[in-house]
Chain A
Amino acid sequence: MSNTALCSDDVLLNDWHVVADLANLSAEVPFRTRLLGIDLTIQAGRRHGRDVVRDDSGEAVASEIRYGFLWACLGTPDRAIVGVPEAGETDRHLVTGGSIAVKVSGLRAVENFLDMGHFPFVHTGWLGDEPHTEVAPYKVEVTEADELLATECRFYQPVASPTASEGFVVDYVYKVIRPYTVALYKSNPVQKDRLDVITLFVQPVDEENCVAHPFLCYLKDGIDAAIVRSFMQLIFAQDKPILENQMPKRLPLDPRAETPIRADAVSVFYRRWLRDHAVSYGAIPART
């Protein structure tokens, strides 16, 4: 299958996806991108300044601006843009983390974001360190809102955040909100009873390419927005070569395709949840 195959998953076609960080758009130069295999051009438009136009038909698609990003929907939106409640809290920095293109299926990027097992090996000295490599058992469930929730995740991190002055055991909660959207809630090193939130909006460029658009809601207490952003990029750029070397580039949904261990429980749930939602774009479907 070519990596420009068209998408036939209604759940994706009728959903909103980020297509650009507004910081990457200029009034003079059109910005070219691709969503679900469809080439798009972002132009300075009449309404609010931006139009998202399909290169094949010349028609504008539905678009919105939210959280510092430009969003588009190729079909008919059947639900609202993902809500981030923490974005309404005034004591938080709300910053885009810097959109980075990755040559792998966006589903792989989501799955990697959910994985604690790689911390000591890929984010050595930051999010993990040997010999603290064990992923303790955690809980995974599908919520009433039909989101995937992993709780009681704990991991020792030498530098869990840009303001962490020493290593500590960090509490994590993960939530898969949409097939290509995942959020991470992580204990703040200063106000340990509150959580910093990183939502990763993954743009399915085509089946084997994505753009990771991180949206950061960090407590302002003791930290600058620029530092939040640079830390996110430091961490994500460590993941990038690992992601780009994953084979196959699409995410196999067949339970027999790759061998999980206990630490991968959330990944096993995620793949099953994708099957249940008939998501095939960016995936290698399960054998029937």
Chain B
Amino acid sequence: MITLYDYELSGNCYKLRLLMSMLGIEWKTVPVDFYPGREHKSDWFLKLNPLGQLPVIDDDGFVLRDAQAILVYLASRYDPAGTWYPREDPKLLGEIGQWLAFADGITGTASAARLHDGLFYDFDVEAARAGAHRLFRILDEHLWFGEQEGRDWICAANHPTIADIACFPYIMLSEEGGIPRQDYPAIRRWCDRLKRIKGFIVMSGVFPAGPARAA
């Protein structure tokens, strides 16, 4: 059984819950009092992850940290169809790796702005917002050109991959950091498509897709 060391309001924890739900696998959570308790900096947690960051999983004794790394592991191990992380397709794997790194950039900007605005983190919020807008512009153009070619997802495949899961949460939560998405129509359409994937679940601050265009 997978144990997820979890904080409800963390987008990086949410992306793991989201993938596990879409894969239909079971897990249990250990809530970590990230805020205001800073339990991720406590002695017991630092033994689990010396970086003092969420999320961490423990899969029958195999402990892994870093949201993107855990997505790779879960998809490789628990997706029998092999579509979320197609291990046999080098180009696609390269693309996925590229966008997983991009997702880390979203965490470093959009998530930082959200922590500043909502939870009083002492970050340079203007720099964080500007950085997020730069990344959103790049992703929006990428998705828009993809749509012209009939591609619905971030990577060149006819199905979503863990790159989509990795980028989604902190984009959806961006307005809490003062980063509106109205200038990114292709991102908004992509978010709606992602919300209609079977097994989609919400977190606090993320709402389900409206019924109007439900498949």
Contact residues of A with B, CB < 8 Å? 21, 23-24, 29, 31, 33, 96, 98-103, 226-227, 229-230, 233-238, 240-241, 244
Which residues of B1-51 have CB atoms within 8 Å of chain A's CB atoms? 7-9, 31, 33, 35-39
Contact residues of B with A, CB < 8 Å? 7-9, 31, 33, 35-39, 117-120, 122, 175-176, 178, 204-205, 207
Partner of B36, one of A31, A96, A234: A96
CA distance A101 to B37 in the complex (A): 17
Contact A23 B8 (CB under 8 A): no
| Majority secondary structure of chain B interface residues (helix, strand, loop or mixed) | loop
Partner of B35, one of A33, A98, A102, A103: A98
Answer whether A101 and B205 are a contact pair too, CB < 8 Å, given A23-B36, A241-B176.
Answer: no
Contact B122 A241 (CB under 8 A): no
B204 — nearest CB in chain A belongs to which residue? A237
Partner of B37, one of A31, A102, A226, A235: A226
CB-CB under 8 A from A103, the residues of chain B are 117, 178
Answer whether A24 and B117 are a contact pair too, CB < 8 Å, given A234-B8, A238-B204, A241-B175.
Answer: no
CB-CB under 8 A from A229, the residues of chain B are 33, 37
- 13 A–B pairs (Cβ distance < 8 Å), ordered by A: A96-B36, A98-B36, A100-B119, A103-B117, A103-B178, A226-B37, A226-B39, A227-B31, A230-B33, A234-B8, A234-B9, A240-B176, A244-B176
Contact A99 B31 (CB under 8 A): no
4 smallest beta-carbon distances between A and B, as pairs: A237-B204, A23-B36, A238-B204, A234-B8
How many Å from the CB of A231 to the closest CB on chain B? 9
Answer whether A237 and B205 are a contact pair too, CB < 8 Å, given A23-B37, A226-B31, A230-B8.
Answer: yes
Contact A101 B204 (CB under 8 A): no
Contact B175 A101 (CB under 8 A): no
How many Å from the CB of B168 to the closest CB on chain A? 16
Partner of A101, one of B33, B117, B207: B117
CB-CB under 8 A from A31, the residues of chain B are 120
CB-CB under 8 A from A244, the residues of chain B are 175-176
CB-CB under 8 A from A99, the residues of chain B are 36, 120
Answer whether A100 and B8 are a contact pair too, CB < 8 Å, given A23-B37, A226-B37.
Answer: no
Can you name 6 extra interface pairs (CB under 8 A) apart from A24-B120, A233-B8, A233-B9? A101-B117, A226-B31, A233-B35, A234-B8, A237-B8, A241-B175
Answer whether A24 and B36 are a contact pair too, CB < 8 Å, given A234-B204, A238-B204, A241-B205.
Answer: yes
Q: Which of the listed residues B8, B9, B36, B39 has the most CB atoms from chain A within 10 Å of its own CB?
A: B36
How many Å from the CB of B10 to the closest CB on chain A? 11
Partner of A240, one of B31, B39, B118: B118
CA distance A144 to B35 in the complex (A): 38
How many Å from the CB of B76 to the closest CB on chain A? 30
A97 — nearest CB in chain B belongs to which residue? B36
CB-CB under 8 A from A21, the residues of chain B are 36
Answer whether A101 and B122 are a contact pair too, CB < 8 Å, given A23-B37, A233-B9, A233-B35.
Answer: no
CB-CB under 8 A from B7, the residues of chain A are 230
Partner of B119, one of A101, A226, A230: A101
CB-CB under 8 A from A96, the residues of chain B are 36
CB-CB under 8 A from B39, the residues of chain A are 226
Answer whether A101 and B120 are a contact pair too, CB < 8 Å, given A226-B31, A241-B175.
Answer: yes
How many Å from the CB of B33 to the closest CB on chain A? 5
CA distance A241 to B31 in the complex (A): 23
Answer whether A101 and B118 are a contact pair too, CB < 8 Å, given A226-B33, A229-B37, A244-B176.
Answer: yes
CA distance A249 to B16 in the complex (A): 34
CA distance A14 to B89 in the complex (A): 68
